[in-house]
Structure 1
Amino acid sequence: MGRLLSSVEVSRLLGLREAKVRELARAGLCRPARRGRRYAFSFQDVVVLRAAKELVERHVPAARIRRALAALTAQLPEGRPLSGLRIFADGREVAVRDGGAAWQPATGQIVLDFAVDDLRRGVARLAGAAGAPCGAAGASGAPAEDARAAFEAALELEDLDPEAARDAYRRALALDPELVDARVNLGRILHEAGDAAEAARLYEEALARAPEDPIVHFNLALALEDVEDRERAIAHYRRALALDPDFADAHYNLAGLCELAGRNAEALRHYHAYKKLTEG
């Protein structure tokens, strides 16, 4: 089981107010564990909350979201996680994509997702325009705007089809290997899909191009935690904090690792810093 996240960490990851995170949890849209009076969110909870956030922003009622998630859980084989699915709004209804199929779990109705197909075609056009193998695209003089267009397409696809988003980020990198944001986002998607080792490799490549970016150090540390390389994770959390001393989540994660390593004084210092930054 992966490390559980606090409401503050989830709010930062999803761009929500902490109060909104707690509100969505209280509405029954996920089932976080408890640490005393506080919620402790699993990766699966974060996946569901991210979907719930997007559905609420599309004005889908919370009760409808809750019913759809319950129906979806009942439809899936036992043990199948929601993290492999894409949950999105179809008008004011909840819809789900699994590979090439999309449907409304509450009714079973098939959904035709034209937006995904349009974006895929756009990425395919960019691939054709590059006209070079992935390994040679950067040397072929492909215009930077094509790489940026592939990157923008990937951003759109993340919310519709993560597999297509991965392909689009890879195309962007083929066109411009120096596009750090594409490397970081691809790493994040792969990490969310469970491939922490490949995510770590991508983050390390990103750091070779942007060594002073605290977010990349933080992301790499998260991936290293998941491949049980705790000492290197500690080093990158420390580097993230050297670059951004107010990075609350880095303080919290580093405190946990220091505690596991028996470095209690350092752990306590970072817990205090986290509390000061998040509670005032």
Structure 2
Amino acid sequence: MNRSFTRLMTRYSRQDVLRILQISSRQLLGWERAGLIPAAEQYGFPELSQLRILRNLQHLRISPRSIRNSVQAMQAVSGISNPLLEAAVVRTGARLAFRYSGTMVDPIRRQLLFDFESANELASGRRSVTVSMLPAARISGSRDPELQRLFLDAVQQEERGRKQAAQEIYGRILAIDPVYTAALINLGTLHYHQKHYDRAEELYRRATESDTSYVLAFFDLGNVLDELERPDESILAYRRAIFLAPGYADAHYNLALAYERKGERRRALTHWQTYVRLDKSGPWADHARGQIRKLLNREKLTIAHRSASFHPQPRRSASLLELVPSRPLSA
């Protein structure tokens, strides 16, 4: 999300979360007990996003146990720490598959799946057909078990709040494998949060070059370019993310903000409208609806102003000629 809005709304109490997501306290406790979300009294946007995904999966009658098994399997084979946020979730029968790094993976069976669904849908339940077996090391970007171990160690260091240690480990990984995409993204994000925007941009760009179908890399690149106040470039990055995943709601949100800052209100309106179709509840959906109302009202006022200022000339008879005094030519 864009920095100007998230700074105003960064923490949510348990009651806020229950109200925003329209879930019960029992549901939240159940997800906590299943280890799908850490127990907390306050939540940030990442936790809110994760809870929204869990709510959607519950509506599709996917049990917490099945979700946990799929998440743990994906962590084991891919090296990503939080598959619910770092990959797109797809329902395949009673289990989950994940779209990640340009492929769809069934982590429990360790299989690549042929994806009949468009990349903009969450868990439509349409059938997927297995096309090949996938070695576990392939998903994380490296076949080297030592690099996978290092990557998991770096993620654990981040989770414990040891950012410097994580940063050093990601650096070691990239010294060995400069195109280890997940390490490029995670290291870029550490620099982003430290406001080292130039370094973050460099790492995100390397990630987009090492994997041209990695949606998150383009989204993160758009965010850092926005921080660097390079709107045209940030728009291109967001548009690329949307091209790869048309249902990436946050990319539509940030692209709408970018267009608004450039005064391109009609383009902004299109992406605000897309966002609220993808994310129907919560504070960002409310904000998007407010922007839609403002833009539509402004458009109505513009049309009304043009209409009031338009005074059609009376028709003239074609049989009459009018003498118009000539203007003297300038010397």
Could you state the TM-score of these two structures normalised by the residue count of structure 1?
A: 0.53
Q: Which residue of 1 aligns with 2:144?
A: 144
Q: One-letter code of the match for 1:23?
A: S
Q: One-letter code of the match for 1:194?
A: K
SS of alignment partner, residue 241 of structure 1: helix
Report the CA distance between 1:23 and its aligned residue. Answer: 3.0
Q: Which residue of 2 aligns with 1:31?
A: none
Closer, same or farther in 2 for the Cα pair 1:203/1:58, shift >3 Å? closer
Deviations 1:186-219 (A, max 9, x none): 0011101111211111000111111111111000
Whole-angstrom CA distance in 2 between matches of 1:185 and 1:58: 21
Report the CA distance between 1:3 and its aligned residue. Answer: 2.0
Matches within 5 A, 1:23-42: 23-24=13-14
Does 1:157 find its partner at 2:147?
Answer: no
Whole-angstrom CA distance in 2 between matches of 1:195 and 1:170: 15
Report the CA distance between 1:143 and its aligned residue. Answer: 8.0
Higher fraction of helix: 1
Closer, same or farther in 2 for the Cα pair 1:208/1:57, shift >3 Å? closer
Q: One-letter code of the match for 1:267?
A: A
SS of alignment partner, residue 279 of structure 1: coil
Report the CA distance between 1:144 and its aligned residue. Answer: 1.9
SS of alignment partner, residue 245 of structure 1: coil
Deviations 1:163-198 (A, max 9, x none): 100001011111222211001100011101111211
Q: One-letter code of the match for 2:152?
A: E
SS of alignment partner, residue 236 of structure 2: helix
5+ long unaligned stretches in structure 2: 21-31, 44-141, 282-331
Closer, same or farther in 2 for the Cα pair 1:176/1:266, shift >3 Å? same
Report the CA distance between 1:22 and its aligned residue. Answer: 3.8
Whole-angstrom CA distance in 2 between matches of 1:230 and 1:148: 36
Please tell me whether the aligned partners of residues 224 and 233 of structure 1 are also in contact (alpha carbons under 8 angstroms): yes
Whole-angstrom CA distance in 2 between matches of 1:162 and 1:233: 27
Q: Which residue of 1 aligns with 2:176?
A: 175
Whole-angstrom CA distance in 2 between matches of 1:205 and 1:157: 23
Q: Which residue of 1 aligns with 2:82?
A: none
Q: One-letter code of the match for 1:196?
A: Y
Matches within 5 A, 1:1-280: 2-5=3-6, 22-24=12-14, 62=41, 144-160=144-160, 161-279=162-280
Report the CA distance between 1:59 and its aligned residue. Answer: 5.2
Report the CA distance between 1:2 and its aligned residue. Answer: 3.6
Q: One-letter code of the match for 2:169?
A: A
5+ long unaligned stretches in structure 1: 11-20, 28-37, 39-52, 66-141
Closer, same or farther in 2 for the Cα pair 1:6/1:270, shift >3 Å? farther
Deviations 1:113-160 (A, max 9, x none): xxxxxxxxxxxxxxxxxxxxxxxxxxxxx9822222111110100022
Q: One-letter code of the match for 1:257?
A: A
Count, aligned residues: 165
Whole-angstrom CA distance in 1 between matches of 2:188 and 2:269: 31
Please tell me whether the aligned partners of residues 185 and 217 of structure 2 are also in contact (alpha carbons under 8 angstroms): yes
Q: Looking at CA atoms only, which structure, 1 or 2, has the larger radius of gyration?
A: 2
Whole-angstrom CA distance in 2 between matches of 1:256 and 1:164: 35
Q: One-letter code of the match for 1:159?
A: E
Closer, same or farther in 2 for the Cα pair 1:173/1:25, shift >3 Å? farther
Could you state the TM-score of these two structures normalised by the residue count of structure 2?
A: 0.45
Q: Percent identity at matched positions?
A: 27
Deviations 1:199-243 (A, max 9, x none): 111000111111111111000000101111111000000111011
Please tell me whether the aligned partners of residues 255 and 267 of structure 1 are also in contact (alpha carbons under 8 angstroms): yes
**Which stretches of structure 1, 4 residues or longer, exceed 2 Å deviation after superposition?**
21-27, 56-60
Closer, same or farther in 2 for the Cα pair 1:6/1:269, shift >3 Å? farther
SS of alignment partner, residue 178 of structure 1: coil
Please tell me whether the aligned partners of residues 144 and 175 of structure 1 are also in contact (alpha carbons under 8 angstroms): no
